[in-house]
Amino acid sequence: MPPLTTPQAPTSRAPRRPRRSHAAGRAGITLVELLVVLGVLAVLASAGLAFARPSLAMKAARAVRTTVLWARTEAMWRGAPMSVTELPGGAGLVVVAPADPAAPCGEGTPLARVALADFPGVRLVAGLPRGLVWLPSGSGRTCSGGGVISGTMLLADARVTISVVVSALGRVRLGVVAAP
């Protein structure tokens, strides 16, 4: 006679899987790992943006260009010469409305100024030692009464040297002379 077996009722539970250890069964990332990755990305992004922004020499050169062009415009609007000269010690530039149009680079009323102290680390390597005068016609001359001007100023910082080229016809352009 065969052995008696009791019939088993069907179960709705799935068969059990063998248990794994907690570390081996972990999936996904933890909050600490996420914060570390975000921190590293933030450091890399800030370093990249520091080199991507314009240098202080470029910002100073743009300010010089704007001031020189503004002086030319003022000369044409006022119908009187305007002088652009260096501040003592190469500390920047100043635009002056002369008191005597016969001596355009003499005493007068300062109208605008670009101080290189506003741009830390920027120095004037080469400037316009004789200065320039914008005539009411829009053309430029040297302060010493010389002919048509065409001058170049060089502004430098630790990263780059920028040239500001002033032509006699009033064009002022910027160029990168040297970069590390």
At residue 93, φ and ψ (nearest 5 deg) are -130, 155
Residue 77's pLDDT is 92
Residue 79 to residue 102: CA distance in whole angstroms? 14
Q: Give me 162's structure tokens.
A: 């920028």
Provide the CATH topology of domain 56-178: minor pseudopilin epsh fold (3.55.40)
Residue of 72, 74, 65 whose CA lies nearest to 93: 65
Chunked in runs of 10, what are the mean pLDDT values of the chain (180 residues)? 64 63 66 87 82 78 90 90 84 85 76 86 79 84 71 83 82 77
Per-residue pLDDT tens over the stretch 62-98: 998 999 899 999 989 988 888 888 888 878 888 888 8
**pLDDT in the model for residue 155:** 85
pLDDT of residue 18: 61
Structure tokens at 74: 């003022």
Q: What residue spans define the domains of the chain?
A: 56-178
Partner residues linked to 97 by β-bridges: 109
Token pair recorded at residue 113: 């100024």
Beta carbons within 8 Å of 6's beta carbon, 6+ residues apart:
none
